[in-house]
Chains A and B, each alone.
Chain A
Amino acid sequence: MRLVASLAALLVALCLATAAHAHAVLIAAEPADGSVLAEAPKMLVLRFNEAVAPTAVSLLDAAGRPRDVAIRAVDQSVLVSLPSDLPKGTQAISYRVVSQDGHPVAGSLLFSIGTVTGATAAPDGGVLHALIWLARLALYFGLLAGVGGVFFAAWISHGPAGERLIMWALKIGLVGAIASLGLQGVDLLNLPLTGILTRAAWATAINTSLFPALLLAIAAMLIAAIAWRSPSIGASWRRTAIAMICVGLSFAISGHAATASPQWLTRTALFIHGVGLAYWMGALAPLAVLAWQRKDSLLRVLRYFSTLAVPIVALIAVSGLVLAVVQLESFRALVDTGYGNILLLKLVLVSLLLVFAALNRLVFTPAIAREFHRTRPLQRSIALEFVLMIAILSLVALWRFTPPPRALAMSSDVPLAVHIHTDAAMFQVLITPGKVGQNDFVLQLMNGDASPFAAKEAALTLSLPERGIEPMERSATLGPDGYWHVNKAPLPFPGRWHMQIGALVSDFKKVTLEDDVDIR
């Protein structure tokens, strides 16, 4: 029981960790994707909507040769030092980073020096993605059908049924969990499939938030396997309860939804959703077996299960709805985004599933109560329910590849970023909201090699030459974050504003960098 209490405490702690994180989205790159530059840039800057950990950045130059690049993460940016001898033509950069929710975010961008040439595209991850999807599906199957099945045997049917299927589900789930981890590493490092045999892939995956979730999943399945052979009913109750809590926790700590805020809500909803589904899906195989064998206990078990199922299905529906609302943000997103499309399809299948569930409860179960031998329709309906559930899980596993609209929406809401780079220094300017009106500026000052730049004073000068707005200077104040801030600087008109940032190094030395920024 103490274990249950400590797991419950862990869940509470997870829910209280309120730092709001989202799936990282690339919001700007400099040079921008598709740009043609006169001269080779020294550095490529990728800006994300949140701090990220870069795992791999590869460069394929215009000659098709892979080149070594040095990467450095500074807050939300990843700075990629480019080789100085890039040939003329189109260069391809592929990047992989881990966002705070543990999801890898990958992408490529092309920029050209001088002219555009037929650059080679980044390697395609079709097979890898299919495997990741399959592993994820296997994991869900193990957690829901496997752990749920053991729980059903212990608590509802008070006797084992459908042992073979449940044990297979647990085995498949364990393989899926371990494969998910290795494949995550392969995906993060952008390795070929054989990379799953390398230590680096596993070491990388262990550092993502997926790892604790998978550990919990593995623990859940192992505990369930042990619980199957419990010496007493009490022991099997305890063990299966712990296994179910592990299932819920595993869902609650990883994935898109777990990182959406408010986290106490999304994590609780995920926990309930996961445990509820395990209860439901776990019951299907044993029920089908009981019906097929026409066990005497069938009617009692069916009644017991379906009495509990009503509130549990309601809980699953409510928690699912909460998650959908948080993630989707608008009805349009159902149609407009990949995430929304998957959700829409899932909802269709779920409605169908509910129809079958209702049929089982309202038609087939009473039919059996009247004439005990009429179990065939129920068997068929349960089998269909099971297939539908697997279809739904296959859809859900696809979410691994689509950022939710919530994260996409955040990326349109992020500050405008301008990166100015000269030999002397590298300044990054974040402008919030980056629109006409009052704006807050954050000046991130760095030396040319991205080391911190020590300034005594810093000032920002803004002008809009095209409208005759002469330079207006605002002095910046050093914030506790180590960056220089200018708050509420006016940008009264749209247009191409000229920005000049002066940083005083010593009494007699100032570094001044300037650039233009489009304000709308």
Chain B
Amino acid sequence: MRTYALFAVAAAALAASPAIAHITLEAKQAAVGSYYKAVFAVPHGCAGSPTVKVRVQIPEGVIGVKPMPKAGWTLDMVTGKYASEYDYHGAKISEGVTEVAWSGGKLSDQNYDEFVMQTFLTDTLKPNTVLYFPVVQECEQGVSRWIDIPSAGQDGGHGHGSRTPAPGVRLLPKS
């Protein structure tokens, strides 16, 4: 019994500091209809194993994606059709980057790194909601999927119910 109680205390202590353990976005909020520099902070590998690939899915309504190259990492982009057409500096855009992947590097579990891309948040996105960028972190051993998106009604918060939440940014009204 006592061992279980101890285990519970330890678990509770771990659970109290989830933000450190997750892949998160550096800037926690951004206005719609503006550029957003998305910085994905990768604080550790998958259960101790070094990270070898980071894949980010671009949510609908986010266009003009320009990832920042990283020394030692190969940059790949997947393009595809958007669900709808967007206005981008007067031009109509209906397709673009839907997924960005950095691979070939090796980020030790002991180290920290950031993966950066510039994006444009179209004003079709709803202010006062959280926009999620699902991330798949692939390691030498294992995969961590930071893809959990709270269902409507539940506020994002961090780690509400999920141990692998997708990194998110709170959207503000157009400034």
Q: Which residues of A contact B (CB under 8 A)?
A: 422, 424, 461, 467-471, 473, 492, 500, 502, 504, 507-510, 512, 514
Contact = CB atoms under 8 A, between A and B. Distances in A.
A205 B148 CA distance: 50
B5 A468 contact: yes
B134 A467 contact: no
A473 B47 CA distance: 13
B11 A504 contact: no
B155 to A, nearest CB: 16
Contacts, number: 44
Given A507-B55, A510-B147, A468 B136 contact: no
Contacts of B162: 512
Interface string B1-35: 00011011101100100000000000000000000
Contact of B148 (A468, A471, A512): A512
B8 A470 contact: yes
Contacts of B147: 507-510
A512 B165 CA distance: 12
B148 A510 contact: yes
8 contacts: A468-B5, A468-B12, A469-B8, A471-B163, A508-B134, A510-B147, A510-B148, A514-B161
B145 interface: yes
Contacts of A422: 151
A334 B57 CA distance: 65
Contacts of A468: 4-5, 7-9, 11-12
A508 B9 CA distance: 33
Nearest to B57: A508
Nearest to B134: A508
A471 to B, nearest CB: 6
B4 A469 contact: yes
Contacts of B148: 502, 510, 512
Interface of B: 4-5, 7-9, 11-12, 15, 55, 57, 134, 136, 145, 147-148, 151, 161-163
Contact of B15 (A461, A469, A470, A507): A470
Given A468-B12, A473-B163, A507-B55, 14 more contacts: A424-B151, A461-B163, A467-B8, A468-B5, A468-B7, A468-B11, A470-B8, A507-B57, A507-B136, A508-B55, A508-B57, A508-B136, A508-B147, A509-B134
A501 to B, nearest CB: 13
Contacts of A507: 55, 57, 136, 145, 147
A424 B151 CA distance: 10
B107 to A, nearest CB: 19
Contacts of A502: 148
Nearest to A504: B145
Contacts of A510: 145, 147-148
Nearest to B132: A508
A467 B12 CA distance: 12
A460 to B, nearest CB: 13
A500 B151 CA distance: 14
Q: Please name the 8 residue pairs, one residue from A and one from B, whose CB atoms are nearest each other, closest first.
A: A468-B8, A470-B11, A508-B134, A508-B57, A508-B147, A510-B147, A507-B136, A510-B148
A8 B162 CA distance: 64
Nearest to A470: B11
A512 B154 CA distance: 14
Contacts of B9: 468
A467 B7 CA distance: 11
Nearest to A468: B8
A473 B5 CA distance: 19
Nearest to A510: B147
A502 B147 CA distance: 11
A514 B160 CA distance: 13
A334 B163 CA distance: 54
A15 B151 CA distance: 54
Nearest to A492: B4
B17 to A, nearest CB: 14
Contacts of A471: 163
A514 B57 CA distance: 25
A467 B3 CA distance: 12
A492 B12 CA distance: 19
A154 B8 CA distance: 83
Nearest to B12: A468
B141 to A, nearest CB: 14
Contacts of B57: 507-508
A287 B65 CA distance: 100
Contacts of A514: 161
Nearest to B152: A423
Contacts of B55: 507-508
Contacts of A509: 134, 147
B135 to A, nearest CB: 8
A461 B136 CA distance: 19
A510 B161 CA distance: 14
A469 B9 CA distance: 10
Interface core residue of A461, A492, A500, A512 (most chain B CB under 10 Å):
A512
A416 to B, nearest CB: 23
A512 B166 CA distance: 13
A80 to B, nearest CB: 25
Contacts of A500: 161
A263 to B, nearest CB: 47
Contacts of B8: 467-470
Contacts of B11: 468, 470
Contacts of A424: 151
A211 to B, nearest CB: 49
Nearest to B59: A508
Contacts of A473: 163
A512 B149 CA distance: 9
